[in-house]
Amino acid sequence: MWCSRHRDRLLDGLRMAPLWAFCLFLVVPYGNSGSFAGGLYIGAGGYLALCAVLLVPLLWRRDRPLTVFTIVALASFAQWLMEIGPMPANIAVLVALYSVAFRCAFAWAVAAGLVVELGVFLAMVHWNDPTFSLFFSGSILVVTVWLTGLYGSTRRRYLESLEERAERAERERDQQARLAATAERTRIARELHDVVAHNVSVMVVQADGAGYAIDTDPDEARLAVRNISKTGREALAEMRRLVGVLREEGADEMDYTPQPGLGQLEELVGKAGVPALLRVGGPPGELPEGQQLAVYRIVQEALTNALKHGGPGVQALVELQYGPRELVVRVTDNGRGAAAPRGPAGHGLVGMRERVGMYGGAVSAAPKAGGGFEVLARLPIPTVRAA
């Protein structure tokens, strides 16, 4: 794990190993000659210490290029002030310059280049007779390193932009694919609704006809029953085909848990996230599973809105009132109501209207006059007619 975190630093250390080896190799000649350029003699220990000050910071040049360049430049300037002669470790200035040009903004790269150019001029004034040709040769080396760093920076940014565009194109492609899949699934769902509605209507008519003719015309009744069987098989085959298409995309993630209904409302209210109370009035009627699911989702969406927009201290009341012909679902809260901040338009109310509209009901959602919010839904209770 440690190696993975410091991999780049280790690689930089390995790249600097030849320069380290070269500086160590010159310890003995430095000790014997006293100095490379006739400056202040600091001994082998001082030579190694100065090499360490110049070279060790390069291990952090990827993470902190400006800091490393500042340390190396200041160490070289102190070396010049103390009149210590140039040494191979001063190449660290060029390495740090390259890192600044490669990893920092252009303004910092220009500033670092000017600092190194000033260093070249000071070194020539102190250790050599300053001539234009000598200064030009040193400047060529500095500019070459500087331009190499800028080229690397430009190429790195270009490659990063390519990767970003590729990722964005991939995200957009996936989004378009999801939108296309959603549109296709919506189309198939509508087609499924049409198939079920048409074939079931035919089956109901045939069944009513068979019920009337079973005593007076048994042959006609048997024909009607055969038509019911044929229509049912056709509808079942079509439904299997359409539902199979709908399930293909999520076949690996199919959920086999039963759909929630009225029996789970108490649990839903208990874990709504806001203090909520459930009241049920009237004798409960028999509702189809789909209609129970619609009631469950309406209450769930209303409690979610109370939690999101009601504000601190909000409380909710869920009321189910069974009548002879309809079920009234009312969810109220004492939250901020009309004073709640408006967020982006969602699909909650649209979804509730679609669910209720499937069963011939109606739903409304609006702030209450005295504060708070109210969701009111009316769903007809289906009656079973005897044949």
pLDDT digits over 141-173, tens only? 888 989 998 898 889 888 888 888 888 888 888
Q: For residue 140, tell me if it sits in a domain.
A: no
Q: For residue 164, tell me if it sits in a domain.
A: no
pLDDT digits (tens, 9 = 90+) for 322-331: 988 889 999 9
Per-residue pLDDT, averaged over 373-383, amounts to: 87
Full-prediction pTM beyond 0.75? no
Q: How many domains does the chain have?
A: 3
Q: For residue 74, tell me if it sits in a domain.
A: yes
Per-residue pLDDT, averaged over 289-300, amounts to: 85
How far apart CA 270 and CA 276 sit, in angstroms, is: 7
What is the pLDDT confidence band of residue 387, given thresholds at 50, 70 and 90? very low
Q: For residue 250, tell me if it sits in a domain.
A: no
Same domain, 7 and 116: yes
* Mean of per-residue pLDDT scores for the chain: 78
Residue showing tokens 């996936």: 174
336 near 310, Cβ under 8 Å? yes
Same domain, 91 and 30: yes
Tokens of 332: 């109220």
Same domain, 13 and 123: yes
Residue 385 has pLDDT above 60, yes or no: no
Query: What local confidence, expressed as pLDDT, does residue 34 receive?
Result: 54
Q: For residue 310, tell me if it sits in a domain.
A: yes
What is the pLDDT confidence band of residue 244, given thresholds at 50, 70 and 90? low
List the one residue out of 249, 241, 252, 242 whose CA is nearest residue 177. 249
Same domain, 354 and 323: yes
Same domain, 310 and 239: no
Domain of 312 in residue numbering reads as 262-336+348-380
356 near 379, Cβ under 8 Å? yes
b/e map 247-260, b = 16+ CB within 10 Å: eeeeeeeeeeeeeb
Same domain, 198 and 97: no
Q: For residue 168, tell me if it sits in a domain.
A: no
What is the pLDDT confidence band of residue 321, given thresholds at 50, 70 and 90? very high
Query: What local confidence, expressed as pLDDT, does residue 139 receive?
Result: 84
Say whether 50 sits in a helix, a strand or coil.
helix
Residue 37 has pLDDT above 70, yes or no: no
Same domain, 298 and 218: no
Query: Residue 363 gets which letter from DSSP?
Result: E
Same domain, 285 and 367: yes
Q: For residue 302, tell me if it sits in a domain.
A: yes
Q: How many C-beta neighbours within 10 Å does residue 29 have? A: 9
Q: For residue 152, tell me if it sits in a domain.
A: no
Same domain, 110 and 15: yes
CATH code for position 371: 3.30.565.10
192 near 242, Cβ under 8 Å? yes
Q: Which residue has the higher pLDDT, 245 or 380?
A: 380
Provide the Cα torsion 99, 102, 106, 109; round to 10°. Answer: 20
Query: What local confidence, expressed as pLDDT, does residue 319 receive?
Result: 94
